[in-house]
Amino acid sequence: MAIPGGYRFKIPFDDVFPQGCYVMSVERAKDYNNGKPKDAVDAVSGLPVWAVQVTDPSAKGKNTGQVVKIAATYQPEPLPAIPGTPFRPAAFEDMSAVPYVRDGWVSYTLWAKAMRSALPVEQGKPAAKSAAA
C-alpha cells in the first residue's frame, strides 16, 4: 500500500517544539506559480491558509524560525504576550507534518488545526485560543 502524496502525518506538539515556541507573526500564506504569488488555499478543506511564523528556542544554530500553517476562514488572532515582553508563547493543536523533497533534501510542512496561548491560565478566565473555522 502506497502513502498518497500530501498525506498529513500526525505529530504531537511537544515532539516538534519540546521547549515550546513563540509567535512572531501571522499572515496569509502564498503559493507561487511560475514565480507569481497568489493566496494559498488548503487542498484538503478549501479554506484560506495562514502562515504562523514562530521561533523555536530548542533549535540549534542560526535558523530558529519555523512556519506552521493553519487553514481557517479568518486570520488567527494574535495571542497575548508575556507581560513586559514581546514574546507570545503558543501551543498548536492537532499538528501534522507533510514531507516533501526539494533540491534533493527532504523537508516538511507543519500544519495545525488551531493555536492557543501557552501562557498560564488565570483562575476563572478561559485560555486564549485562535481556532480554525
The contacts found for 45-50 with CB under 8 angstroms, 24 or more apart, are 45/71, 47/71, 47/72, 47/73, 47/132, 47/133, 48/72, 48/73, 50/26, 50/75, 50/76
Question: pLDDT by residue for the chain (133 residues), tens digit each?
Answer: 678 878 899 999 999 999 999 999 999 999 988 888 999 999 999 999 999 999 998 888 777 889 999 999 999 987 889 989 888 999 999 999 999 888 999 889 999 999 999 988 764 455 556 555 4
